[in-house]
């Protein structure tokens, strides 16, 4: 499989990076929408609009992006034989954690849609920092390959 994908490696990498950017943009935006949603009066027309915006962001941007990121990422890893590298295992761990964060945010969107506001605006603003820290670590691991 490694040799079969080598001619299109640069295209796989470009696609992977493009969809990582889409995924990260959505992960940065979703908690901000949650903050604004929670500031809207419960049951208001504005709150209903935020439910729709959050749903669209999750279904149109985030879900396709995470799928493409994973598929292309696994193909890239197979192409370069990264499975035996320590940096790759660390990167994979952080990508799994970031994927879990994505799932948690998706679940919180469903809670908000039901009117359950279990986090404060301050907590959501703090949660918004998670993808930035994770992506910084992931990029360092992928580019620098420190071990």
pLDDT (tens digit, 9 = 90+) per residue, 10-28?
A: 999 999 999 999 999 999 9
pLDDT tier at 3 (50, 70, 90 boundaries)? confident
Q: What is the pTM of this model?
A: 0.93
Count of domains in the chain? 1
Please report, in range form, the residues annotated as the binding site for heme. Answer: 16, 91
Please report, in range form, the residues annotated as the binding site. Answer: 16, 91
Residue 57 domain boundaries: 2-144
As a whole number of angstroms, the distance between CA 25 and CA 15 comes to: 15
As a whole number of angstroms, the distance between CA 55 and CA 49 comes to: 10
Per cent of the chain over pLDDT 90 is 95
Q: What would the two tokens of residue 81 be?
A: 């034989």
**pLDDT > 70? residue 4:** yes
């Amino acid at each position: 499989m490694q040799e079969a994908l080598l001619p299109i490696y640069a295209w796989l990498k470009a696609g992977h990076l493009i969809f990582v950017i889409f995924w990260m943009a959505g992960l940065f935006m979703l908690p901000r929408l949650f903050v604004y949603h929670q500031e809207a009066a419960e049951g208001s027309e504005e709150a209903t609009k935020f439910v729709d915006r959050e749903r669209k962001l999750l279904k149109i941007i985030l879900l396709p992006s995470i799928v493409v990121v994973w598929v292309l990422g696994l193909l890239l890893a197979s192409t370069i034989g990264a499975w035996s590298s320590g940096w790759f295992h660390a990167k994979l761990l952080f990508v799994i954690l970031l994927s879990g964060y994505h799932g948690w945010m998706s679940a919180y969107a469903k809670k908000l849609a039901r009117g359950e506001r279990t986090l404060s605006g301050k907590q959501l603003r703090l949660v918004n920092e998670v993808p930035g820290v994770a992506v910084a670590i992931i990029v360092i691991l992928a580019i620098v390959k420190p071990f």
